[in-house]
Structure 1
Amino acid sequence: MGRSLPSMNRWPRLLATFIATACVGYLFVLYRVELEVNSIKVGQFVKRYALSFRGNMSYSEYVYQTKPPCEPIHQLVFVKTHKTASTTTNTLIQRYGMKHNLSFAIPQGNQMFSETRLYSRSMLFRQSPPPGSANYFNLLANHMRFNRRELDKTVPNATYITILRHPITKFESTFGYYNFAHSLRLERYPNPLEFFMRTPEQLLRSGHNAMKNQLRNGMMFTLGFDHRFDDNEAVINKTIERLDKELDLVLLTEYYDESLLLLKELMCWEVEDILYIPKGYRSQNRRYAMSDKLAQKILKWNRADQRLYDHFNRTFWRKVEEYGPNFGSDLDEFRRIQKQFYDHCVDANTTTVRKNREDALVMKKNSSEDCELSFFRVSNFHYKFKGQAKVAEQKTKQKTTPPRKTTQRRIPGKSHPRPSRH
């Protein structure tokens, strides 16, 4: 016999089962929605409850203080670029190092390891930290050309950061601060910068200035890029991809306070560690008018720097998003404390001209040690570090050098007792 067809009286049961299942599913969805609504209400209640007992703390401060604890990072390499607020950043890093008794890798001569050659350990003032320190360096924050392999050997397990500035304003600042109008003999022209950008390649070859490598794609050059590839898109892209992997954080001059907040989060530092005093403002006689046409010429001339800045501008705002919803309130709080620190340290009625190119701030009399360290420049730190290293070496020599043996001087005509043979 063939298979019998299902009887007609089974269809009502199947239909009833389907309807019952649909109803149960609908009720389950309603239950989940109600549960989520209630959880939101509970979350709002918890937040209100937290606000009720936290006192004068902002909610963002309360949330921050209830985050899992982290350990401050003391291994740091700062790739110091030119005319990007890097000296201000260098000061707060070295101030942190001094306050926490960390060791610094510093150059042999002035404040730069080298403007032309990639960083090498042979450029160090000392190949190892001074006696009494750890057997490795903690910090490096001076001008150099980025060379990750050699830097890893100098500051092991370091966090790597740098700072970038928009290529137009960075280029204009570089041209004025390093007085290229004088070295390129363009002072007779109404706008030396505008005249230079008419034939930049020709004029750059004709002039003599120790900072001439900064007059095209200067930020990329500091980060290890070779000027031979200024017009090579493939090498530019490959270099930026490598830097994206090798740098943990890239600060932006135009968003300096935001950058320091990201730095604080990355390093697990305190607000007091990122307070700063600007290192001065370029004098008016070193500034040049900027037209739209001139700006476009500068961007085209600094194509690699533009690509670099655009890339890390995007990654910067992704990091801001990753920081979380409290970024805005934390930024407001930091700026409030920063203003108090500035007013506490800076004499608002006085400025001074530094090296005929910079209007520098003046510290109030009888200011705190934090103010004094915040006014330090790279050379001030170097003087202290080298002095401390010499003192530490002298103390070590005194401990390890055996005392000199003294012998009795014989005087002619005078008898001396013989040593006993017992």
Structure 2
Amino acid sequence: MKAGKPPSHWRCLSPRLFVALTASAIVAYLVVLYTAELEPRSLKVGHLIIRQSLSALILGSQLNSSDEETMATEPPCEPVHQIIFIKTHKTASTTTNTLIQRYGMKHNLSFALPAGNQLFNEAKLYSRSMLFRRAPQPGSGDIFNILANHMRYNRPELEKTVPDAKYITILRHPVTKFESTFGYYNFIKGLHLEGHVNPLETFMKTPETLLHKYPLSMNNQLRNGMMFTLGFDHKFDDNETVINKTIERLDKELDLVLLTEYYDESLLLLKELMCWEIEDILYIPKGYRSQNRRYEMSDKLAQKILKWNRADERLYDHFNRTFWRKVEEYGPNFGSDLDEFRRTQKQFYDGCVDNEKLKQNAFGGREDALVMKRNSSHDCEISFMRVGKFHYKMQKEMRTREKERNPESQTSVKGNIRNRIKRGIGRSL
């Protein structure tokens, strides 16, 4: 046995507890020694106990505080199942949404879904009145676990929808995000900029005039779009005080802000925050914007875009700084963990994606979409599932479960329909 190292069967005890037990043993022995007649053999055994106890007492006192901390290991963390993902536009948010969907499906979690299509009403702040169902689907639990579709951040209403959730969002540099939004949603058509050599450059010459002249449903994304999604009102686009206060509040309310430019690093931070496994953050990119929807970017044009999107610039700069602080807090293993994740991610991608095929100008000409390999795994299939398909699949499943749970109500509904038809026929006769 090495000097200064307690026997293996003693290491599970904290030093303070060990000293207390040892002292108690010594006292107990002395009481026995002086209150009973001991045979010589028993006396020798008693002396041996005292010697071992004193040795242990000395060793225990030599243990420093770091040994005590090492011995008192922390309990393992619990995976997070309460999630609100504030899905911003053109930031890799659909790719992120998909991996959150996959996690929820694999763990039978309940989703808070929009009533209509895959988006909540983005012109207004989120409210529970926008939900497809006001309660979780039968059999999934008493509360919603996940809300991840496009909506405008409204903390009080979200807390009532998914209680005790971790709040996640993703940001992209305002210049590349703005150019991507402008091209992907084909604003040149709505703003009547067809025929211009660089429609984006033309727009930035008189953006306010064009937005006022041609009001569009997605115009809210053509100035400070990320801030708008995070609950910011456009009437404060030029108000530095409100911009700063909004960012300060978001800094306190959001648990993690991912960055598109550092996507793998972001997912590693997500895994750490959520206590997930590497398999939970594997992803399939949701296509690449078609070349005919991309625009040349000069330094002068980039500066105009930054000035026009001042609130988004301030937002991105702030959370860029906090992002790297979180990387530092992760610890010295960040680099090696990132390498391991990227190796696993490459294996997953290669196993799912047919690199010899690419659907050009898919989804209305907006994307060059990846193609899944034939006979791929179930994880590949649900990782390829886009938000719209997932949305309608979940709505259908919720309706089916409701029918199975309440067959009488469904029968009465059909009976009411038949009665209304009969009454209508009677009136027509």
TM-score where L is the length of structure 1 = 0.79
Alignment of 1:346 onto 2:353: yes
> Once the 2 structures are TM-superposed, how far is the Cα of residue 398 of structure 1 from its aligned partner?
3.5
Residues 93 and 324 from structure 1, CA distance in 2 versus in 1: closer, same or farther, beyond 3 angstroms? same
> Once the 2 structures are TM-superposed, how far is the Cα of residue 247 of structure 1 from its aligned partner?
0.4
Letter aligned with residue 377 of structure 2: S
Q: Is the 8 A contact 2:403 2:410 kept in 1?
A: no
Match of 1:362 in 2: 371
Letter aligned with residue 127 of structure 1: R
> Once the 2 structures are TM-superposed, how far is the Cα of residue 104 of structure 1 from its aligned partner?
0.1
Match of 1:35 in 2: none
Match of 2:217 in 1: 210
Tell me how far apart the structure 2 counterparts of residues 139 and 229 of structure 1 sit (CA, whole Å). Answer: 31
Gapped runs of 5+ residues in structure 1?
Answer: 1-38, 44-65, 404-422
Tell me how far apart the structure 2 counterparts of residues 198 and 313 of structure 1 sit (CA, whole Å). Answer: 29
Moved over 4 A (4+): 399-403
Q: In the TM superposition, what are the counterparts of 1:32-71 in structure 2 within 5 Å?
A: 68-71=75-78
SS in 2 for 1:221: helix
More helix by percentage: 2
Deviation digits for residues 219-250 of structure 1 (CA, Å, limit 9, x no counterpart):
00000000000000000000001101110000
Letter aligned with residue 194 of structure 1: E
Tell me how far apart the structure 2 counterparts of residues 121 and 200 of structure 1 sit (CA, whole Å). Answer: 34
Match of 1:54 in 2: none
Match of 1:379 in 2: 388
Match of 1:284 in 2: 291
Gapped runs of 5+ residues in structure 2?
Answer: 1-62, 68-72, 413-429
> Once the 2 structures are TM-superposed, how far is the Cα of residue 401 of structure 1 from its aligned partner?
9.5
Match of 1:160 in 2: 167
Q: In the TM superposition, what are the counterparts of 1:183-202 in structure 2 within 5 Å?
A: 183-202=190-209
Q: Is the 8 A contact 2:126 2:154 kept in 1?
A: yes
SS in 2 for 1:188: coil
> Once the 2 structures are TM-superposed, how far is the Cα of residue 208 of structure 1 from its aligned partner?
3.5
Deviation digits for residues 152-171 of structure 1 (CA, Å, limit 9, x no counterpart):
00000000000000000000
Alignment of 1:129 onto 2:133: no
Letter aligned with residue 391 of structure 1: T
Match of 1:388 in 2: 397
Tell me how far apart the structure 2 counterparts of residues 378 and 319 of structure 1 sit (CA, whole Å). Answer: 29
Match of 2:262 in 1: 255
SS in 1 for 2:121: coil
> Once the 2 structures are TM-superposed, how far is the Cα of residue 130 of structure 1 from its aligned partner?
1.3
Match of 1:140 in 2: 147
> Once the 2 structures are TM-superposed, how far is the Cα of residue 134 of structure 1 from its aligned partner?
1.2
Tell me how far apart the structure 1 counterparts of residues 245 and 144 of structure 2 sit (CA, whole Å). Answer: 30
Match of 2:328 in 1: 321
Letter aligned with residue 372 of structure 2: M
Tell me how far apart the structure 1 counterparts of residues 206 and 141 of structure 2 sit (CA, whole Å). Answer: 52
Equivalenced residues, count: 342
Residues 279 and 117 from structure 1, CA distance in 2 versus in 1: closer, same or farther, beyond 3 angstroms? same
SS in 1 for 2:95: helix
> Once the 2 structures are TM-superposed, how far is the Cα of residue 204 of structure 1 from its aligned partner?
1.2
Letter aligned with residue 260 of structure 2: T
Percent identity over the alignment is: 75
SS in 1 for 2:406: helix
- 2:124 pairs with one of 89, 111, 117: 117
Residues 264 and 399 from structure 1, CA distance in 2 versus in 1: closer, same or farther, beyond 3 angstroms? farther
RMSD (Å), alpha carbons: 2.0
Deviation digits for residues 87-131 of structure 1 (CA, Å, limit 9, x no counterpart):
000000001000000000000111110120000000000000111
Residues 199 and 344 from structure 1, CA distance in 2 versus in 1: closer, same or farther, beyond 3 angstroms? same
